[in-house]
Amino acid sequence: MLPYFMEGVCTANRGYLIYYLKKAGVELINYAKVVSLDDEGVHVIRNVSKGVPDPYVTWQPVLPKNIENPLAPKIGNDEKEITLKADLVVFATGAKPDDSLFYEAQAGRIAPELYNIGDSFAGGRVLEATRAAYALGIKL
């Protein structure tokens, strides 16, 4: 459950991506974790505390991890489970490939078609993952 999207990424790149995601109507949910997937949708536990930062605010303090920001709001722990309706689920899980979720979903036969692309298949950059998703998407 991370407070910021793309933490540690260049502020200009981060701001650009978040701006265009917002413009496209994408709902950003920070301080959340996926707990399960089923026919109803994606079940998520989300921290709804008042101190949770707005995910659309692109500026964040650049401080080393060992220095606490004295001006940062205290983030409480008010967790709520929500279900998100989804036709498509995209997991952005980091730079180290981890295809275990793909194989778990495949074994559970949760969808008629599953594709293992992006960082699940091989660690890379957003550009390569986006190109792979686009190439697959136009073929579906």
Burial environment of residue 71 by CB neighbours within 10 A (0 to 12, 13 to 18, 19 or more):
exposed
pLDDT score of 94 more than 60? no
Rounded Cα distance, 44 and 82, in Å: 5
* Strand partners of residue 46: 32, 80
Among 90-94, 114-118, 129-133, the minimum mean pLDDT is found in 90-94
107-122 pLDDT tens trace = 998 888 888 887 778 7
pLDDT score of 13 more than 70? yes
Q: What is the pTM of this model?
A: 0.59
Instruction: Break the chain into its structural domains and give their ranges.
Output: 1-87, 90-140
- Strand ordering across the sheet containing 41-47: 32-38, 41-47, 79-84
More reliable by pLDDT, 120 or 17:
17
pLDDT score of 97 more than 80? no
The average pLDDT across 86-112 equals 81
In angstroms, what CA-CA distances link 114 with 71, 89, 121, 124? 45, 10, 12, 20
